[in-house]
Structure 1
Amino acid sequence: MPSDWASIANPTEDERFLRFWVMRGDWVEAPNLRRGGESGVQRVHLADGTQLYLKRQVGHLYRSLRHPFGRPTVLRERDALLAIERLGVRVPRLVYGGVRYQADSGWQGLLVTEALDGFIEFERWYAATKGEGERHLVLQQLAATLCRLHQGRWQHGCLYAKHVFVRPMGEGGLPEVALLDLEKARRRLSSKRAALRDLWQFKRHSSLDEADWQILIYGYEAAFGSAIKGLRT
């Protein structure tokens, strides 16, 4: 949380929103038009050294049976971050998530998270790793992470390699895996259905070779406690 936040006693929700909305930083994902609105991500460096990522959206809504007229997408991602973290899955720490309505522009949304210090993108790690032992350990940790997600009946929904981050030497000398960009995450009726969609999506959008894919699936099914029909075809 910003180091000067204590200067405002008992801030209102509008004051909290505005405090983050006026922050500016480098665009890591330039604003683009999606879901009938605009969305982008900025990296902000605070005076105390904290690095934040601000997902900034205007008119960016999703629709569902529960919300047929639309609901700001950042609220769905905020709810997913909190729920998935409770499952024991590493995700970016939520600093703030909220919305406000402006007559001239409609819904404005903010999702503010802390940077994952020491983590690197999965593909960057995979391309640089030469040791088979380290590679297998990370793949086993990825399998266990995804298993926790799916056993909670959560599906990431956009499990590309760029949304998986790795810290090769985490606490206790073991690797850690974190999941990012949960904008499309949702609960499914069954854990197996969530698993099939996410895992096949990860295979299509990563550079895993066949041998390492089999290691990932073996580790996943071992953590899950049973084989999953359709996962090896």
Structure 2
Amino acid sequence: MTQLPALSPSANPPRGHADYCESELAKLLARHELNSFEHLWQVAAENVDIPNRERGGVSTVSLLTLEDEKGQRHRLYLKRQTNHLARSVVRPLGEPTFSREWRAIRRYHSLGIPSVEAGWYGERKQGKHWRAILITFDLTNRDDLDSWHVRWPELDDEYRRQVITASARLVRQIHQAGMMHGCLFPKHLFLNRPDTFTDARQQMDAVIIDLEKTRRFVLRRHECLRDLYVLWRRLTCWQQDDWRQFLAIYCDSSPKSTEVDRWLSQLEIRGQRKRR
């Protein structure tokens, strides 16, 4: 499987019936007669997750595989939702949550934060029914941190170090940019696989997905802790030394520093409160 050229979204956010599409993706969709909102809405595709029925609507994620004129296959994630809305000061009557995610992807790219690529966005409102479509590109040759965590007992020290380092660097970059991810599950961090390494000295890197809930900080320390705690609670195979390594990179300090001690203490206190 190959991926279309990575093109960062650059158009203004569409409103109402306006659609956005990267030029290379537009050619691929046109080849399969899928170059319209209604065609994408109707096309059959395999769901890759349980439909999200929160917020009074429904949101689905499907895998769409299309072949180009050279016979290369491209894996796309076709995300469709109906009446799955979020409200804000700018749009008090609500907007599709995919609209938020699409803008967040553009913002992350503008900040230089490695994140999923979005190639298509459109929304439609008819009466009280509001539909939206977002297409993102497959993260080729990457596995999420959940998958790495499952294999943790089998990994040698070097690969463990690489996984921890890549993950910590990405989280640090997000927080240094003044952003809270808001849903920092291990399944949302994707790291490149060892078989993609062409040089033994090459370091792993990580990419973030699912930016629907991301936002700028209000209370920086508190919100950093919330993001970190989501990882801390789920990465149960990581020992304290692993977390010291992660937090040392996150803080740009020594694993035995007082700053790392402070973060560990706050994570443990938060964990105790959650278990009550």
**How many residue pairs were aligned?**
224
User: Would the alpha carbon gap of residues 94 and 45 (structure 1) be closer, same or farther in structure 2, given more than 3 Å must change?
Assistant: same
Q: Deviations over 1:189-214 (max 9, x none)?
A: 35534422211111113333322122
Deviation at residue 219 of structure 1 after TM alignment: 0.9
Indicate if the aligned counterparts of 1:26 and 1:42 stay in contact, CA closer than 8 A: yes
Select 2:189's aligned residue among 164, 180, 184.
Answer: 164
The reply to whether residue 209 of structure 1 matches residue 229 of structure 2 is no
Question: Which ranges in structure 2 are unaligned for 5 or more consecutive residues?
Answer: 1-24, 266-276
Partner of 1:12: none
Q: How does 1:55-204 map to 2 (within 5 A)?
A: 55-103=79-127, 106-129=129-152, 130-169=155-194, 173-189=202-218, 191-204=220-233
Q: Separation in 1 of the partners of 2:239 and 2:225?
A: 18
Q: Separation in 2 of the partners of 1:4 and 1:182?
A: 25
Q: CA RMSD in A?
A: 2.5
Deviation at residue 78 of structure 1 after TM alignment: 0.4
3-state DSSP of counterpart to 1:46: strand
3-state DSSP of counterpart to 1:29: coil
3-state DSSP of counterpart to 1:35: helix
Question: Which ranges in structure 1 are unaligned for 5 or more consecutive residues?
Answer: 9-14
Q: Separation in 2 of the partners of 1:71 and 1:93?
A: 21
The reply to whether residue 26 of structure 1 matches residue 54 of structure 2 is no
Letter in 2 for 1:217: L
Deviation at residue 4 of structure 1 after TM alignment: 3.9
Q: Separation in 2 of the partners of 1:5 and 1:153?
A: 36
3-state DSSP of counterpart to 2:264: coil
Q: Separation in 2 of the partners of 1:204 and 1:214?
A: 15
Letter in 2 for 1:232: L
Larger Rg: 2
Identity between Structure 1 and Structure 2 (%): 29
Deviation at residue 2 of structure 1 after TM alignment: 5.1
Q: Separation in 1 of the partners of 2:109 and 2:133?
A: 19
Structure 2 length-normalised TM: 0.73
Structure 1 length-normalised TM: 0.86
Partner of 1:232: 264
Q: Which has the higher strand share?
A: 1
Letter in 2 for 1:112: I
